[in-house]
Amino acid sequence: MSKFGRGFRHNTVKFLSYWRVRYFRFMGTTIGKNCFISWGAHLDIRRGKITIGDNVNIAHGTYILSHTGYRSTKEEIETVIEDNVKVFVNSVVLPGVRVGKNSVVGAGSVVMKDVPPDVVVMGNPARVTQQMDPGNHQKPSA
């Protein structure tokens, strides 16, 4: 792909994410600064509450749920994604879960329990596979 094509695609994706974040904020979801929500990500905003911190990236095919369809939800249940979290493609975050700061949710993971800060979780159900170096939030420690 040419340099022009990549730049155009990149700017189009940023534009769509900007309006997607604005839409979710308008619908009552709390979303922090500098967040990216893919056009193909799904935030369940019909019932319950979702809170997303600053610098969060949510990839295509991800589902962030605020309620389950078969049970009535309590009003105090809240799904929280804290600051600097990356949620990769086709992951599911179930209602009432808190994903800790600087954590990474691997592709295809189903997050059923709270995730501590500075970890990488993967699998179904999601389990901690790596500890992140608290000083460097970009790369997992070996």
Enzyme catalytic residues: 42
111 and 92 Cβ atoms separated by less than 8 Å: yes
* Cα distance between residue 130 and residue 103, in whole Å: 10
Measured over the CA atoms of residue 86, residue 54, residue 110 and residue 126, the dihedral's sign is positive
Work out whether strand 127-131 and strand 119-122 pair parallel, antiparallel, or are unpaired.
antiparallel
What distance in Å separates the CA atoms of residue 113 and residue 47, rounded to the nearest whole number?
Answer: 20
- How buried is residue 51: exposed, middle or buried, by Cβ count under 10 Å (0-12/13-18/19+)? middle
